[in-house]
Chain A
Amino acid sequence: MKKIIYLLLLLPTVLLAQEQKTISGNVFDANADMPVIGASVYASSAIISHKTNIDGVIQGAMLGSTTDFDGNFKFTVSSDIKSIIVSYMGYETQKIDVTKNFTGLKIILKEASERLNEVIVTGYQKIEKRKMTSSYAKVKVAEIQQAGVANVDQMLSGQISGVVIAATNGGPGAPAKISIRGTSTLNGSSDPLWVLDGIPLEGNDIPKDFGDKDNIDNLESYAIAGLNPEDIESITVLKDASATSIYGARAANGVIVITSKRGKKGAMRINFNATSFVTQKADFSKLNLMNSDQKVDFELMLAGRSDLKYQSNRGAVARILNNYGEYDNFASNGFNSIGLEAQQEINNLRNTSTNWGDELYQMALNQQYSLSLSGGSDKNDYYFSAGVFDEKGATKGTGFKRYNITIKDNFSVTNKLKVGASLFASQNSSDSYITGVDAYTNPSYYSRTANPYLKVTDADGNYVYDPDLIERSDLNLDYNILEERENTEYELTSNSLKAIFDVNYEFNKELQFYSQVGLQLDFEKTEKFGDENSYYTRKYEQKSRYSDGNGGYSYFLPEGGIIQNWNSDAFQYNWKSTINYNTSFNDIHELDVMVGTEFRKNNRTMIHTKGFGYNPNTLTTTAITDERALSIASFETYRKTYIENAYASFFATTSYTFDKRYTVFGSLRYDGSNLFGVDPKYRYLPLWSMAGSWNLMQEEFMDYVDVVNELKLRASYGVQGNIDKTTSPYVLGEYYQTSILPGNTEEIIRALNAPNAKLRWEKTVSSNIGFDLGLLDNRIYISGDYYQRKSSDLIGLKSVPLESGYSFINTNWATISNKGFELAINTRNIHTTNFDWSTSFNISHNKSLVEAIEIRDEDFKPSLKGHSVNAIFAIKTAGLDSNGLPLFWKDGKKISAVDFYKLTEATDGSQLSREEHRGLYSYVGDGAPKFSGGLINTFNYKQFNFKVSANFNIKQTVKQAPSYHPTLVDPGKNYSTDILKAGTGGFPGLIGYTTPGFDTDLVYNWFNSSDDGRTYNDLDIWVKDISYLRISSIQLGYSLPKEQLDKLKLSRMNFSLEGRNLFVFGSNYDGYFDPETYGSIYAQPIPKIISLGVNLSF
């Protein structure tokens, strides 16, 4: 106030008496070629004073105007005003000379290099970028948009340093496994927290191990599955403790904040998107399986070896030989000695070839549409969108559909009170295949093991059942992949509604109250159906077998299909209230304080029903009346589960900035939750963090360095805790029912876990230092961070002696640290009027170290102590001896298996102590990649734009499932061509008990049954290092030029052609579809996609 009075004394207030002129013009946006509405245009040095009601206080006001809906402005000032200033949030302010020309001005505003004026949305508060002390990365979805991607997580691959996205499975709608800054837990979830407009999203944890077929085959609904990527404006990833501690214990793995689009002031904008995309059929030849010719030769070879007896009557060749009674004859005298008919039949097999890839995988045409309407006025902005996504998976019988509707409105009730409401509604359906309890019928697995000469249907069109898929030695349940697909269904439909209501009340410029209620409702229905004529039902029937008292057996399962339904209703509300106090003193000190509470409750009701004897025509089931069914869980027809959780948290943050240079930030949060049976002293967990940043550009000495236009240093430190809710110092029980003697059912209480009185908090301490550097007016922008995280007292499963009554307990048993760095470099390489080339490169490195872990005497493998969390241990082999038996390295010498394992006659195998067994292993590599990152190049030439996105992983050690087992080779199964090399190179030869050779019987016994630690799977021949670079997207786009747009009355029209996952360069990944899923024989292939899309805006 005082300043203005002084100014007034200096300046003549001669306004009223002076001459005037009218300044008018028009303000446009340089890029979008659209008017800028609400831009401030004002005379730079004209200050008019008004007397106010208070004596001695004069209020000053700038003279000017704001642009209207068409970008026009007009106002009158005194004639000697020399220049006007045009400014608008997000654009570079311009000063226009108005001494000569001052009417009909055409002013073009350029977007401000976003950096400093931006506001970072953390979900709890909006922090000005210049005051930000934490490590984060922000991406605008428009920049990473890819077509044909169901979920937003897959689009983030390679985009953000430190964020490693691993495709788990090529299935449609399948989740990606995201890890931010490495893995800091052994057994818990390592998923980051997804937040939508301030509301944390609930969903299922993404399984860790996609080598386990259940995790691939089970359909689950994940937190972000219902979101339409078209509705997302930007994604901010919060990486270090100071950013995430405000979220509480769930944010230990990082936070991904999604900000959805909202309407902008102006006329209604209509945007329409249509994309068609083709998923190509997977290349089955990558699996290197044997073809019919090779398989027949292989079976003949096996039949000829009398020492290999395992399942020797399986496989078509053995069946033919046995049919003619020629098996022994062949074994002794060879092919030519058997009858001509047998020879003919065997040779016919060579000519029958089923392409399992064609049976299982398909090329599919898919589509995606979305429509949005948005707009706003001074008081109100709205956004509405609807979208449809339909993808048929690369595996036949799988698919994913999503329908979305989003409605958002923000309304200013008064100057001080603003309210907003958003509704996100979606329905997803996923289709997949059913697999039974065993792995054999998983399509990926089956396609690798089914014989190439097995026909799918015979000449009459009837299903041919696989004679080699045998349930038990006497029982073949008739499996045919086509029949199974036609007679079974597995579908997950998830209806989700997220509603967010918020209220913002400004008491005054400094004090604001904000409250937000988020509701999330999820209704999930899953249905699994197996018709009467399906392998699934036949296999299920076996569980109902009982002896009928006459030496035979019967089944109490009624005739008909089996239908299982899971209905899950989940509800969550999240109520957050904060009070923000932002103030500044003396223009030098800025203080921001926030205090808040958060209350959250969620509950989930799940009902699982099973119906037997199901008739798909009448949609009815038959009740099982047999008493035997009462005690078998597989025949339980109804089970309801109810879970409820409540959380209450209190938090506060403070930020102090001195002279716009130094910022200090602190946050504290107390998380409380319902913990039944947990020691009460653990009810509230404290989390806190401290951070600081130094904005060097404000320092005087930086004025001399012209090259640098932005330089900021940051550091942060934070502590957070976590408690495992499933373990209790008390014996916790759950109610069940049982029947011990006939006719008597009783309620029982089963102990859930062994009690653990010593359970403590897990604690994670994280520190981070980083810098942001902008050179040459942000033509080069570099961000780097170095971080350290140490998690101690991690809770994990520890196996215990069976005499305790349990096999595992949860205990605090490990300390893990993660160290790493992240670097992101963005450059505008060439920037001319017509041509533009910019590059974005990011790379990250994370090294985890298990600093302490309880070593168990009974472990077969060395403990992880001193190694990374994903350390891979293997046994070093040294080739083969003359009989094809493996040799091993020991003290620099090659020794036989007998010596290596200390195998002795007439014992149960090895004489090694458990400790010596551990000594057999060597550390061979880290299962997590050494470096990960992405490289994105964008080229713009006039109306065309071309973008290539790539992501890479450097040096990752992976272990594959062995291609074959030397003692368990089944002639009825197909194998990869690796088995043809058995006995040569490094591949162990096939052996039986009587195979000639020195002590082969010992080696056979060892690998066949005595090897409890399964060392065969850990031989170094199955381990390899992989690095790859995947061109995840190549995109070519064309925007219609302005003249054409005007003719069509459109504001924008773009075409785009994109190819995804087209190329992968890198190490050999033979035997598997993709390097990302190397080693998993159950994963579906990651599809190559070509898409064509059009985008219109009105």
Chain B
Amino acid sequence: MKYFKYITVLFIASFISCNDYLDIDPIGQIIPKTVDDYRSFLTTAYASTKEHKVLSTYRGDELSLKSDAVGIEQYEDIFTWNDENPSPLVRSFAYASFYNTIFYANHVIDNKDTMTGAQEEIDQLVGEAYALRALQYFELINLYAVPYNKTTAATDVGIPITTHYDSDKTYPKQSVQTVYDLILSDIEASENLLNTVEQDLGFNYRFSVVAIHSFKSRVFLYQNEWQKSVDASEAALEINANLMDLNTSTDIMPSEYNSVESILALETVASFDLANNASISQTLVDSYEQDTDLRFALYFTPINDAYKSKKSANNKFKCSFRVAELYLNKAEALAELNEHALASTTLLELAKYRYTTEGFEDYTATINGLSLEALKTEILEERKRELAIEGHRWNDLRRTSQAQISKTFGGEIFILEQQDARYVIPFPKDAQISNPNL
């Protein structure tokens, strides 16, 4: 019986030491707590690459495809706006990956008060999270909903929004106005927190003060809030107004991540297939004055009897915001505000670095001779030339006139009518399957 005493003591002792025995921190796993943990966490969200800009380039009028091109079955239904009966191999526009990025941003924002670390770093990180989230919603709303129209935005059908993870919630579609309100409130929250003015090279995929201003300028432009857009563009230009002078150097493109113009180098704009198995459309080729426009030779390369994009999937081509766009945004907004002279000047500031000296003289002459209406058209044309194959064209077509596009493919002619319903991309199949509210 005396043995029992010893045994009970042994058991109790082992029970107590048990918890230490079971406390194993698995290698490689972590629950983020410090601002450094959350930084690595947010970097995952930044690292997520999406191909929607590439696919929207196919959908726009910048490319021409041959029906016997390699891998054509992945793109032809996008190219010809065949949303009704696409091939099962067709690539789909990103959807889940946007919301995955939003999940990461939400988590960082939710934990801003419990994060440990230097307040400055926390503010910068949370500011970036707000900006990143706003950017995802901005891209989503411009793919899957009608363009912003102040009068109808409150009733136009938009996309689901979520700012907090909950396993039980439903995701009904919100109106376009609601989504833009969220975007703008996120941008505002971000502005109040960001403290890094410009990011260092290699880290310029992260948001900074100049980036948030550039983003704001684009959002207001798309909303046709011209004055606000101008103010935002100027705020950004105050920090960085450098334009690459193509007259002095054509080593790299102005849109590359290490150019002086780069403000935010986050999104993928081109892919292997776009560079190798598609060529530049005749309309785009024709819009350049090949002799005097220095961008032509820099952006495109002649292969056989067509031109192909020099931009490819390489990380160096990533680009979201750059200085040239600021000038174009400003010029367009000023023109809409009837500031004819200012608009022309702004446009020419950009053009100076893009045309040869003689070309620039001719160009200046042309610009100065235009009426306001014609200037507005020319600014859009210059935008088309400057931001070619950069994921802007489709959005620009949408928010302006939703012009008719005509394409020849496989011997047939395909037409996207003016203001065609197909200017809105339908929700991807897998999203519809998982969310009955779509």
In-complex Cβ contact of B99 among A647, A731, A805 (8 A): A805
B85 and A650: CB pair below 8 A? no
Q: Which of A507, A552, A645, A1008 contacts B3 (CB 8 A)?
A: A507
Partner of A746, one of B43, B106, B266, B272: B43
Q: Which of A151-159, A542-550, A1018-1026 contacts B (4 or more CB under 8 A)?
A: A542-550
> Nearest chain-B residue to A731 (Cβ)?
B107
Least Cβ distance of B267 to chain A in Å?
11
B58-106 interface with A by 8 A CB criterion: 70-73, 83-88, 95-96, 99-100, 102-104, 106
Question: A residues within 8 A CB of B40?
Answer: 733, 735, 746-749
B357 near A: Cβ within 8 Å? no
Interface flags, B45-66, vs A, CB<8A=1, else 0: 0110000000000000000000
Interface with B: A703-711, A750-758, A769-777, A788-796, which one? A750-758
B202 and A547 within 8 A (CB): no
Whether A749 contacts B41 by the Cβ 8 Å rule is yes
Chain A residues, CB < 8 A from B433: 858, 1012
**Is B37 part of the contact surface with A, judged by Cβ < 8 Å?**
yes
Contact B25 A800 (CB under 8 A): no
| Chain A positions 725 through 759: 1 when the CB is less than 8 Å from some CB of chain B, otherwise 0 | 00010111111101111111011111110111110
- Complex CA gap A646/B313 in Å reads 46
Q: Which residues on B sit within 8 Å (CB–CB) of A674?
A: 22-24
Least Cβ–Cβ distance between B78 and chain A, in angstroms: 15
Task: Indicate if A474 sits at the interface (CB-CB under 8 A).
Answer: yes
Q: A643-B26, A740-B46, A744-B202 are in contact. Are A754 and B434 (CB under 8 A)?
A: no
Residues in chain B near residue A340, CB distance under 8 A = none
**In the assembled complex, A811 has its CB within 8 A of some CB on chain B:** yes
A365 at the interface (CB under 8 A from B): no
Question: Is A166 interfacial (CB-CB < 8 Å)?
Answer: no
- How many angstroms between the C-alpha atoms of A746 and B41 in the bound complex? 11
Interface segment out of the listed B160-168, B185-193, B363-371: B160-168
Q: Give complex CA distance A643, B28 in Å.
A: 9
B171 touches A579 (CB 8 A): no
Which residues of the other chain, A, contact B276 by a CB distance below 8 angstroms?
A: 547, 551-553
Chain A residue contacts of B204, Cβ below 8 A? 741
* B272 with A805: CB separation less than 8 A: no
Please measure, in the bound complex, the distance between the C-alpha atom of A802 and the C-alpha atom of B100, giving whole angstroms.
8
CB-contact partner of A756 in B29, B167, B308, under 8 A: B167
Report yes or no: A806 in contact with B103, Cβ–Cβ below 8 A: yes
A1009 and B87: CB pair below 8 A? yes
Asked if A619 is at the interface (CB within 8 A of a chain B CB), the reply is: no
Which B-chain residue is minimally distant from A755 (CB atoms)? B165
Docked complex Cα distance between A507 and B4 (Å): 12
Question: Which of these, B87, B106, B203, B436, contacts A857 with CB under 8 Å?
Answer: B436
Among B10-18, B221-229, B283-291, B333-341, the one that faces the other chain is B10-18
Answer yes or no: A8 CB below 8 A from chain B CBs. no
Residue A24, interface by CB 8 Å: no
Task: In the complex, identify which listed stretch (A190-198, A906-914, A953-961) lies at the interface while the others stay far away.
Answer: A906-914
A437 to chain B, nearest CB (A): 17
A1009–B89 CA distance with the chains assembled, in angstroms: 9
Residue B312 interfacial (CB < 8 Å): yes
Given contacts A672-B22, A740-B46, is CB(A804)–CB(B103) below 8 Å? Answer: yes
Q: Is the CB of A545 within 8 A of B203?
A: no
A854–B190 Cα gap in the complex (Å)? 39
Query: Which B residues lie at the A interface, using CB under 8 A?
Result: 3, 7, 11, 14-15, 18, 21-32, 37, 40-41, 43-44, 46-47, 70-73, 83-88, 95-96, 99-100, 102-104, 106-107, 160, 162, 165, 167, 169-171, 202-205, 257, 265-266, 272, 275-276, 301, 303, 308, 310, 312-316, 318, 429-431, 433-437
Give Cα A820 to B283, complex, Å: 73
Q: A547-B272, A547-B275 are in contact. Are A907 and B30 (CB under 8 A)?
A: no
Measured CA separation A614–B72 after assembly (Å): 35
Bound-state Cα–Cα, A644 to B21, Å = 12
Contact residues in B for A641 (Cβ distance below 8 Å): 28
- In the complex, which residue of chain A has the Cβ closest to the Cβ of B204? A741
Min CB distance A813 to B, Å, is: 11
Whether A738 contacts B47 by the Cβ 8 Å rule is yes
Number of A-B residue pairs having CB atoms within 8 Å of each other in the complex: 215
List 9 extra interface pairs beyond A677-B31, A804-B165, CB under 8 A.
Answer: A550-B303, A644-B24, A676-B25, A746-B43, A749-B44, A754-B167, A802-B430, A802-B431, A803-B99
Judged by a CB distance under 8 angstroms, whether A189 is at the interface is no
B133 to chain A minimum Cβ distance, whole angstroms, is 12
* Complex Cα gap A597–B87 (Å): 62
Measured CB to CB, the nearest residue on chain B to A730 is B31
Q: Are B431 and A741 in contact (CB under 8 A)?
A: no
In the complex, chain A residues whose CB is within 8 Å of the CB of B162: 803-805
A472-B71, A732-B29 known; A750 vs B44 contact (CB < 8 Å): yes
Contact of A648 among B21, B85, B170 (CB under 8 A): B21
In the complex, the answer to whether A748 meets B257 with C-beta atoms within 8 Å is no
Give the most central of A546, A742, A803, A857: most B CB within 10 Å.
Answer: A803
CA distance A738 to B41 in the complex (A): 12
| Cβ-neighbour of B167 out of A511, A631, A749, A811 (below 8 A) | A811
Within 8 A of B (CB), among A597-653: 597, 599, 628, 631, 641-648, 650
Q: Are B22 and A673 in contact (CB under 8 A)?
A: yes
Residues of A within 8 A of B167 (CB): 754, 756-758, 800, 804, 809, 811
Whether B85 lies near A1005 (C-beta < 8 A) is yes
Instruction: Report B338 CB to chain A, min CB distance, Å.
Output: 41
- Select which of B84, B102, B308, B434 is within 8 A of A801 by beta carbon: B434
Residues on A with C-beta less than 8 A from B26 are 643-644, 676
Residues of A within 8 A of B313 (CB): 546-547
9 A-B pairs with C-beta separation under 8 A: A473-B70, A549-B312, A551-B275, A733-B29, A733-B37, A751-B44, A802-B430, A804-B171, A805-B104
Q: Which of B99, B100, B265 contacts A741 (CB 8 A)?
A: B265
Instruction: Say yes or no: is A799 at the interface (Cβ < 8 Å to chain B).
Output: yes
The residue that A748 contacts in the complex, of B18, B41, B71, with Cβ under 8 A, is: B41
The reply on A683 being an interface residue by CB < 8 A is yes
Q: Given that A507-B3, A733-B41, A907-B84 are known contacts, is A741 also in contact with B316, CB under 8 Å in the complex?
A: yes
Which of A628, A748, A752, A807: most chain B CB closer than 10 A?
A748
Asked if A1054 CB lies within 8 Å of chain B CBs, one says: no
Interface centre among B21, B29, B86, B313 (most CB of A within 10 A): B29
Contact indicator A740/B3 (Cβ below 8 Å): no
Residues of B within 8 A of A750 (CB): 44
Q: Which residues of A contact B104 (CB under 8 A)?
A: 751, 805
Q: Are A511 and B3 in contact (CB under 8 A)?
A: yes
Cβ A1009 vs Cβ B71 within 8 A: no
Q: Which residues of chain A have C-beta atoms less than 8 A from B32's C-beta?
A: 731, 733, 749
Task: Report the minimum CB–CB distance from A19 to chain B (whole Å).
Answer: 49
Distance (Å) between the CB of A444 and the closest chain B CB? 25
Given contacts A650-B11, A672-B22, contact A803 B43 (CB under 8 A): no
Q: Which A residues touch B41, using CB under 8 A? A: 733, 748-749, 751
How far in angstroms is the closest Cβ of chain B from A548? Answer: 10
Q: Is A839 an interface residue (CB 8 A)?
A: no
**Option from B24, B27, B84, B303 in Cβ contact (under 8 Å) with A551:** B303
Beyond A650-B11, A751-B104, whether A741 also contacts B257 by CB under 8 A is yes
Cβ contacts under 8 Å, A805 to chain B: 99-100, 102-104, 106, 162, 165
Q: Pick from A677, A735, A805 the residue with the most CB of B within 10 Å.
A: A805
CB closest residue in chain A, given B433: A858
- B273 and chain A: residue at smallest CB distance: A547
Q: Say yes or no: A742 contacts B28, CB within 8 Å.
A: no
Bound CA–CA A473/B70 (angstroms): 7
Residues of B near A362 (CB, < 8 A) are none
